[in-house]
Amino acid sequence: MDHGMMQYLRIYDYLKDGRFGGEEEAAVTVAQLAELLHCTPRNVKFVLRKLEEAGWIRWMPGRGRGNGSKLRFLRSAEEVLEQRVRSLLEHGRASDALDLIAQSGEDETLKARLGSLFNLYLGLHNEPADSTDYDVLRMIRYRKMEPLDTCSAYTAFEVYILGQIYETLIKYDAASGKFQPRLAHRWEASERGDRWTFHLRKGVRFHNGRLFTSADVRETLLRLRRKESMALRLLCDIEQVETPGEYTVIFRLSRPNTFFLHLVGSLYLSVVPAESDDGERPIGSGPFRVSELSEHRLSLSAFDGYYGYRPLLDRVDVWFMPNADTEMRTYHLSEDDEVEGSRQIDSPAQGCRYLIFNFRREGPHHRADFRQAIRILYDRELLVSELGGDRLAPASGFLPRFSDSSALSSGTLNDARALLRASGYGGEAVRLVFTDKKEEWIEANWLRRRADRIGLRLEPCPYDPALGYPQVDGAELAIASEVLEDDWELDLLNFFLNGINYLGRMLLGEQREELLALFDGFMTEDDSGRAEIFARAQRLLGDNNWLLYGAHTSHRAYFNRSLYGLRMGSLGFPNLSRLWVRGEDGGPSDSH
């Protein structure tokens, strides 16, 4: 935020608490303002003169004993902010405008209004740098940024960003169903499958310039253990990591593990340098490096030393504006870009939206008849036919491949009403929590209306994801979504095992033990054996109505027509490394 604006807002906040209004002026001394602004009285007078020249205030210095100085605001803080944002945009300073809005205080309605001013300034811009131009893609994230740490990442966006910063030894390719070389160019397993050897690429550098070696792979696992990462349940078979040479790594396991390549290609085992925790910014060896990181802004710059193909974009700037309500991801690329003139990209998500009961709380949902009544209310086929939106198909499992249409039969509202009476329900309120996402609002209110028709007091309770799980813990029921990555087996296994998600927090100990027991020996099974375990686990949740599957959903995003190289990933975000912009003459932009 520029200095003059910051000083104005400090004065405004100090004096706006009702001590002035209409034609009244606020009485204030130069000494008070000097203390407030942490400067000398002489500098205060300079600041006041600048604010008067801007037309924001009128300063009336006191003359003589008993005549105190007065200050009148000619513009509200909101008006001044809007005027300043417009001025910055008109002078091509969109970055400064976005930073100003992000830091403008707690009034989210004001932020949303100011944010609407610069929607057309988002997107691709050419910024001169030395002898060439930089292609910079600007984006907004309407939620708080969570910590960028491979030990603990759990939200889709942070997982997506970490995938741009870090590299793994190998990577699962969903199209072929095979693993591809990354930091390791070759690997082999012992005959029993309890020892895996990886041969590493030479000449790979981290973003800080240091060469990558086998010691960094060992340190990555040790770091997960030091930080007690939620990934350790997945990696519990690893007994030892040996580094017989700078470019050879051997994992010794406690038992044969045919699933081990999935683990090595996971985000958790993205290789971090030993010194990564010494700085404020994440350091990896991926195609983008973190060039700026603050509460409000993240900048990713193309890493020229990347061992693979350098990204075609030079920089990606992301501003974080929590609670500025929008449901649509947009990637604008010109000042004339609007959603109406963009390409809409829809892609099926690997996962579904569902309801889950919180068994850690007392309530009627502990009775099977009550849960069956809710199962009828949460009719999967009606969800799709009546609500539409991002709902593609009814779900009887997390993935379409696990959904059996014969298992979708529900019942009538009369059936639900009878089950509610049989459960002994006494008219108490049942709280339903959900995030502030549009589709979850729609679903929660649809369910409430159906509950009203059978005499169930369902109270929708939206919560702020930034405040975390404690809000969810106070409710009997929650709407949630699970979206799986390309390596869906690994992601679904992690969903069942990690213990910190809805499933881990809402099931009782004995329920969770029954579920986890199904996964004993999972990593020794072949493909069909693992698929059967997944099917049994999902049937356990569904048959007992511990979790009620809703609908399989889709991702939707809008892209400017000049943006090419689009490929929506499993989490609904594009691969930044492959994006490029078509120039005005129909060819690539000048910088590539």
Where is pLDDT greater, at 343 or 182?
182
Question: 46: Cβ–Cβ under 8 A, 6 or more apart, which residues?
Answer: none
Residue 114 gets the label, from left (phi > 0), alpha (psi -120 to 50) or beta, of alpha
Q: Are residues 83 and 176 in the same domain?
A: no
pLDDT at 346: 55
Q: Are residues 364 and 500 in the same domain?
A: yes
Q: How many CA atoms lie within 13 A of 436 on its CB side?
A: 15
- As a whole number of angstroms, the distance between CA 269 and CA 166 comes to 10
The CATH number covering residue 75 comes to 1.10.10.10
Q: Are residues 176 and 105 in the same domain?
A: no
Q: Are residues 369 and 453 in the same domain?
A: yes
Q: Which of 76, 93, 114 is the last residue of a domain?
A: 114
Per the CB < 8 A criterion, the answer to whether 130 and 31 are in contact is no
| Domain assignment present for 324 | no
Does pLDDT of 81 surpass 90? Answer: no
For residues 371-398, average pLDDT:
94
- As a whole number of angstroms, the distance between CA 3 and CA 24 comes to 27
**Mode of pairing for the β-strands spanning 547-560 and 342-357:** antiparallel
| Domain assignment present for 566 | no
| Domain assignment present for 339 | no
| Domain assignment present for 430 | yes
- Residue for token pair 């593609």: 392
3-state secondary structure of 188: strand
The CATH number covering residue 489 comes to 3.10.105.10
- As a whole number of angstroms, the distance between CA 486 and CA 488 comes to 5
Nearest to 201 by CA among 267, 249, 251: 249
Q: Which of 238, 256, 285 is the last residue of a domain?
A: 285
Per the CB < 8 A criterion, the answer to whether 235 and 263 are in contact is yes
Per the CB < 8 A criterion, the answer to whether 269 and 169 are in contact is yes
Q: Are residues 497 and 368 in the same domain?
A: yes
For residues 199-206, average pLDDT:
97
CB atoms within 10 A of CB 212: 23
pLDDT at 131: 54
Helix intervals (H) in 391-475: 413-422, 438-452, 470-473
Does pLDDT of 88 surpass 80? Answer: no
Q: Are residues 438 and 536 in the same domain?
A: yes
Q: Are residues 200 and 72 in the same domain?
A: no
In this prediction, residue 119 has a pLDDT band, given cuts at 50, 70 and 90, of low
| Domain assignment present for 504 | yes
Per the CB < 8 A criterion, the answer to whether 350 and 397 are in contact is no
pLDDT at 212: 97
Nearest to 376 by CA among 420, 339, 337, 442: 420
Q: Which domain does 253 fall in, by range?
A: 167-285
CA distances from 335 to 43, 89, 355, 444 (A): 40, 11, 41, 37
- As a whole number of angstroms, the distance between CA 443 and CA 461 comes to 12
pTM, two decimal places: 0.76
Find the angle CA(339)-CA(341)-CA(343) to the nearest 5 degrees.
80
DSSP state for residue 568 in the 8-state scheme: B
Q: Which of 76-90, 95-109, 392-406 has the lowest mean pLDDT?
A: 95-109
Q: Are residues 71 and 194 in the same domain?
A: no
pLDDT at 213: 97
| Domain assignment present for 312 | no
Q: Are residues 360 and 437 in the same domain?
A: yes
Helical packing angle, 3-15 and 77-90, nearest 10°:
170
Total domains in the fold of the chain:
3
In this prediction, residue 586 has a pLDDT band, given cuts at 50, 70 and 90, of very low
Where is pLDDT greater, at 381 or 325?
381
Torsion angle, alpha carbons of 252, 255, 259, 262, to 10? -30
For 278, counting Cβ atoms within 10 Å of its Cβ (0-12 exposed, 13-18 middle, 19+ buried), the class is exposed
Residue 203 gets the label, from left (phi > 0), alpha (psi -120 to 50) or beta, of left
| Domain assignment present for 576 | no
Q: What digits encode the pLDDT tens for the residues 418-455?
A: 999 999 999 999 999 998 788 999 999 999 999 999 99
Per the CB < 8 A criterion, the answer to whether 120 and 332 are in contact is yes
Q: Are residues 65 and 210 in the same domain?
A: no
- As a whole number of angstroms, the distance between CA 243 and CA 226 comes to 19
Tokens of 18: 């009702």
Q: Are residues 514 and 398 in the same domain?
A: yes
Nearest to 97 by CA among 128, 58, 140: 140
Strand partners, 76: none
In this prediction, residue 208 has a pLDDT band, given cuts at 50, 70 and 90, of very high
| Domain assignment present for 326 | no
Q: Are residues 366 and 456 in the same domain?
A: yes
DSSP state for residue 80 in the 8-state scheme: H
* Most confident by average pLDDT, 37-51, 420-434, 570-584: 420-434
Does pLDDT of 99 surpass 80? Answer: no
- As a whole number of angstroms, the distance between CA 578 and CA 582 comes to 13
Does pLDDT of 22 surpass 80? Answer: no
Q: What digits encode the pLDDT tens for the residues 153-167?
A: 877 788 889 999 999
The CATH number covering residue 187 comes to 3.90.76.10
Where is pLDDT greater, at 563 or 575?
575
